[in-house]
Structure 1
Amino acid sequence: MKQAGPRVLAVANQKGGVGKTTTAINLGTALASIGERVLVIDLDPQGNASTGLGIDIMGRSKTSFDVLTGAVTVLETALPTAIPGLHIVPANADLVGVDSTLTDQTRAYRLRDALTALASQLRNMPADQGFGYVLIDCPPSLNLLTLNAMTAAHAVLVPVQCEFFALEGISQLKDTIDQIRATLNPQLEIQGVVLTMHDARTSLSKEVAENVRAFFGPKVYETIIPRNTRVAEAPSHGKPILLYDFDCAGSQAYIRLATEIIERERQNQAA
Structure 2
Amino acid sequence: MSQNSTSPLILAITSQKGGVGKTTVAINLAYSLAKRGWRVLIADTDTQGSIGLSLSRRAKECKGLYDALRKDESPEKLVLSTRLAGLRVLTTGQCDFDLEESLDTDATKQKLGKLIRNLSSIDCDVIVIDTPAGVGPVTRSVLANSDRILVVEQAEPLGLRSLPLIIETLDRLRQRGARFQLSGIALNMVSHDREESLSAVRDLRELTPKGTVTQTIVPRDKAFLEASAKGIPVGMIGKNPPQAALVFDQLAAELEPSLNLTEADDAAQQLTQLMD
Counterpart-to-counterpart distance in 2, 1:45 and 1:102: 10
* Alignment pair present for 1:113 and 2:106: no
Unpaired runs of at least 5, structure 1:
123-129
Counterpart-to-counterpart distance in 1, 2:160 and 2:250: 24
Question: RMSD over aligned Cα, in angstroms?
Answer: 2.4
Q: Residue by residue, what CA displacement relative to the aligned partner does 1:207-232 show, whole Å, maximum 9, x if unpaired? A: 00011112223111111111110112
Q: 1:208 aligns with which of 193, 200, 203?
A: 200
Residue in 1 aligned with 2:274? none
Residue in 1 aligned with 2:273? none
* Alignment pair present for 1:17 and 2:11: no
Q: Residue by residue, what CA displacement relative to the aligned partner does 1:33-64 show, whole Å, maximum 9, x if unpaired? A: 0001111111112212112233613541x222
Per-residue deviation, 1:189: 2.7
Q: Residue by residue, what CA displacement relative to the aligned partner does 1:71-92 show, whole Å, maximum 9, x if unpaired? A: 3312122111222211111015
Per-residue deviation, 1:134: 0.8
Query: Amino acid of the residue matched to residue 194 of structure 1?
Result: A
Task: State the identity %.
Answer: 25
> Secondary structure of 1:193's partner?
strand
Per-residue deviation, 1:268: 11
Q: 2:226 aligns with which of 187, 211, 233?
A: 233
Q: Residue by residue, what CA displacement relative to the aligned partner does 1:14-37 show, whole Å, maximum 9, x if unpaired? A: 211111000000000000000011
Counterpart-to-counterpart distance in 1, 2:227 and 2:49: 15
* Alignment pair present for 1:172 and 2:168: no
Instruction: Compare 6-15 and 242-251 and name the one that shifted more.
Output: 242-251
Unpaired runs of at least 5, structure 2:
271-276
Superposed, 1:6-85 pairs within 5 Å as 6-54=8-56, 56-60=58-62, 62-85=63-86
Q: 2:250 aligns with which of 231, 243, 256?
A: 256
Q: Residue by residue, what CA displacement relative to the aligned partner does 1:223-253 show, whole Å, maximum 9, x if unpaired? A: 1111110112211211111112553121010
Q: Residue by residue, what CA displacement relative to the aligned partner does 1:97-129 show, whole Å, maximum 9, x if unpaired? A: 44533576343333442244343x45xxxxxxx
Counterpart-to-counterpart distance in 2, 1:16 and 1:78: 26
CA gap of 1:97–1:238, structure 2 versus 1, over 3 A, is farther
Q: TM-score, normalised by structure 1?
A: 0.87
Residue in 2 aligned with 1:127? none
> Secondary structure of 2:56's partner?
coil
Instruction: Compare 33-42 and 135-144 and name the one that shifted more.
Output: 135-144
CA gap of 1:82–1:55, structure 2 versus 1, over 3 A, is farther
> Secondary structure of 1:190's partner?
strand
CA gap of 1:178–1:96, structure 2 versus 1, over 3 A, is farther
> Secondary structure of 2:189's partner?
strand
Superposed, 1:45-194 pairs within 5 Å as 45-54=47-56, 56-60=58-62, 62-92=63-93, 94=95, 97-102=98-103, 105-119=106-120, 121-122=121-122, 130-185=123-178, 187-194=179-186
Counterpart-to-counterpart distance in 1, 2:12 and 2:242: 26
Counterpart-to-counterpart distance in 2, 1:20 and 1:26: 10
Number of equivalences:
261
> Secondary structure of 1:168's partner?
helix
Counterpart-to-counterpart distance in 2, 1:240 and 1:77: 21
Counterpart-to-counterpart distance in 2, 1:154 and 1:98: 26
Counterpart-to-counterpart distance in 1, 2:208 and 2:78: 36
